[in-house]
Structure 1
């Protein structure tokens, strides 16, 4: 097992989570029988790494460049967890596990294991698609080692010199991507092209419409798909919603906001457990302790490699789920008192995931490489280092706990290609068929971004907010109000007449 404490601990925006239809009339007309298009799909066993019971897999070829549809093709891998009740089956439910860069072939089975209600499993063939560039679809690589680019979250910049140093490092990362063995794929790994691939999968499945369940970044992908293909969209459920522009430079800066939105939950927990952890008796004392530990580690890192940057990143990572808060408090207590740090229980790093990927024939850096391809290709990032230095200074004041991380420079500032097309503009044009679910205190996809997406979708969407913290809501937190609203939507198509606020469970 990789050493748990090093200077290059990496934390994923999806918290290392890898989970992440036809019309009613069609279902009544016998959609449970295979259509000619579906018969052409050669279903078989899934790759060994993603082969839980009941899951079957296949592939199709799609254009690398949809502007040259007769040119080079790449492969898209997808899975199916078929409904076992032909009378209740109404179509297919496409899924995406987030990231971007999250493998999704196993997500249908993971959703089943996470408690996806039987009524939903009966209603749909649940489909997982590894997006272009990812996993068992044609994968991309930047040829990176863990030390080259250890985290998909920008590093915390204490001052302008840190921004300059980070600029030098990430410029080298972008250069590695430009020189990689998959560099010819680089400009075409985008959210819009992934949405086009999803529609090719829909065609291959013989479905006139598809429903959708996306988490985190997968909410942006879902919003893009239903904007580009509104006539092919049935019921679209978006859990933990990014802003309407995806992961661009403005979204990255919301990590500081999300950190401070979520911090009171941890502060309340740690204060209530003062006798166990000794961090403070009030939330205000816990906040003071955060700055005290961070400043101490900035000045003198531990021999194991914990410095202020790692401490801040680790805290952000453990904010994803409530059940990680005790572990986080224990780490804080050890760092505060100079004791050995408890071994992290899966730190969200590339380490173990990279080994598993390599053994499956996937480049070991595929998660971060494919993520860089998407976010750097989707939008035009600022290229002037001084812009990031100014943003860091501004966000250090606005969000003093973590703003100087979210605003820092990334490889996208030096990306070797310009966007091949304008970003998809999310609008209110299309059927009223989107249900959004958002925790009030989400560190990774803050409430403000979800509200922007809700406004962009207009009457197409309804939003359910749950009075709870952390990332992801449906199936992952026990809020019956939110859970039942989502299940009813997926099974019956019924949505609230207006947005709903679900109280704390």
Structure 2
């Protein structure tokens, strides 16, 4: 079943620390059992761990973190554990090991590792949080601002979300829902599994989480892959603004694709005409929304559907319907407990990791700059987020990346990524220095280390995880035809599920 357009609107899918890295003794046993019903599979095992809410008070209040395991297919060849985070922040991860395996992970990798997933603190089956968000508030990205007054309006909407979080039953927990604490939870998972080191694969925001873990616990990392790389500052105001840059980088791929199929969709016979159709629809929906879809949601929805080329037909069909004054179906996202925990965790991480600007004039200036530089969605990405009105300042400084530590990081990055542009990846690459190598792929979209995208990029990931083979110097992978057409029905279903999750 297709996801409603509103479901997939983009929100964000970051060495000093006040907390000692060894502040808490870890749970030493894991009791594997059946997974929760929504992720249940005979292949997956799940368990709950207790971890400190506040690592400065390791003997104080505890929360739970739910983990999953897809055991090695050949214990005789098992190297260790490979921990996953599929992004967010706030993305659930219990099902990800099985999803990744179903997409075509090589048999050698499935033999090499136990694949470990987890719902980060605050999310779903771990101790969940909620800001009591209304359905329309689940779209965290601010509305597109055409002028200074609309920035003021966005500020009021962001303030309301921040107030709801501060008044919620989860308010005492929210300040501790941070990337640094999630990284510490990962080390608790490592210890509970009885491993001296962990390997790691992180997508999108998961690259920042992996970088933080590699900075806090450098000697406990084995092979670390960071795919679609967030800048070294995490998901801060600069990263939010980069969504505008990413859209401008990526959209020409869709425009070229749609123009080649003009006889099917009628969106324009040339890329320039398809681009003109984008602005035509945005202006039309600003004046006369269709089924509750205004120009701002259209811009953000288009952005989210450029994350994978696999979604281009869905995007073209949506445009086609709107040109014919037909509303896309099911525009409302129900405020389920799962959606609540994921979005509330996202807000907490965004606002708890770093301090955001507090003055409206700063956002008005940013919006004016980005609306000119990145006119497709810059007026939204640079607008006011709830962190501008967050009740509490971060409890500790951000974790800094540096070149001090083992040289065991592999960064993989598309040239035209709509969510984590190449510019941020280059900054993270520079921050890690000789600890890292980077593979850059001449490809658009969000994600490299998936077998149906680019064989060169995927081979770089698997060669490193399986054989420990990492490029001696940074590497470039040329463009390839998208391989999604060769997916089996099971792989197609898994790819679509993952694509939807990456967009959230």
Corresponding position of 1:91: 80
1:328-369 alpha-carbon deviations (Å, 9 max, x no partner): 122223323x3424548xx8x843xx54xx4xxx5x511110
Residues 121 and 10 of structure 1: CA distance in aligned 2, closer, same or farther (over 3 Å)? closer
1:466 maps to 2:464:
no
Equivalent pair of 2:91/2:123 in contact (CA under 8 Å): yes
Q: Which moved more, 1:378-387 or 1:469-478?
A: 469-478
Residues 1:244 and 2:232 are matched in the alignment: yes
In structure 2, C-alpha distance between the alignment counterparts of 1:152 and 1:300, rounded to whole Å: 23
Structure 1 residue runs of 5 or longer lacking an equivalent are 16-36
| Cα gap change, 1:3 to 1:106, in 2 (>3 Å) | closer
2:221 to 229, 233, 253: 233
Q: State how far apart, in whole Å, the 2-side matches of 1:494 and 1:13 are.
A: 35
Cα shift readout 1:460-487 (whole Å, capped 9, x = no counterpart): 1111111111111222543111111111
Q: What RMSD in Å do the two structures reach over aligned CA positions?
A: 2.0
| In 2, Cα distance between equivalents of 1:330 and 1:76 | 40
Correspondence for 1:340: 326
Equivalent residue number for residue 261 of structure 2: 273
Correspondence for 1:23: none
C-alpha separation in 2, matches of 1:326 and 1:473:
20
> 1:488 aligns to what?
463
**Residue number in structure 1 paired with 2:485:** none
2:10–2:300 Cα contact (<8 Å) kept: no
Change (3 A) 1:145 1:398: same
Q: Does 1:104 align with 2:104?
A: no
- Measured in 2, the distance between the counterparts of 1:307 and 1:175 equals 26
Q: How far off its partner does 1:143 sit?
A: 1.2
**Which residue of structure 1 lines up, in the alignment, with residue 282 of structure 2?**
294
Question: Residues 67 and 313 (structure 1 numbering): CA distance in 2 closer, same or farther, change over 3 Å?
Answer: same
2:392 matches 1:417: yes
Please state if 1:127 is matched with 2:125: no
SS at 1:234's partner residue? strand
Aligned to 1:193: 181
Alignment of 1:82-481 (within 5 A): 82-147=71-136, 149-302=137-290, 304-336=291-323, 338-343=324-329, 350-351=333-334, 354-355=335-336, 358=337, 364-475=339-450, 477-481=452-456
Q: Name 2:487's counterpart in structure 1.
A: none
Give the TM-score normalised by the residue count of structure 1: 0.89
Shift of 1:40: 2.5
Distance 1:86 1:330 in 2: 47
Structure 2 CA distance for partners of 1:378 and 1:350, relative to 1, 3 Å: farther
**CA 245–14 in structure 1, closer or farther in 2 if over 3 Å, else same:** closer
Could you say what secondary structure the match of 2:48 adopts?
strand
How many residues of Structure 1 are paired with residues of Structure 2 in the alignment?
468
Closer, same or farther in 2 for the Cα pair 1:179/1:342, shift >3 Å?
closer
TM-score calculated relative to the size of structure 2: 0.89
Deviates most, 38-47 or 68-77: 38-47
Cα displacement string for residues 367-415 of structure 1 (whole angstroms, at most 9, x for unaligned residues): 1101000110000000111111111011111111111111000110011
What is residue 20 of structure 1 aligned with on the other side? Answer: none
Structure 1 counterpart of 2:9: 11
Q: 1:22 corresponds to which residue?
A: none
Q: 1:61 is matched with which residue? A: 50
Contact 1:432 1:459 in 2 (8 A): yes
Gaps of 5+ in 2: 14-25, 481-504
SS at match of 1:289: helix
Q: Distance in 2 between matches of 1:165 and 1:378?
A: 25
Tell me how far apart the structure 2 counterparts of residues 4 and 108 of structure 1 sit (CA, whole Å).
25
For the Cα contact (< 8 Å) 2:142–2:383, is it kept in 1? yes
Q: Distance in 2 between matches of 1:248 and 1:74?
A: 26
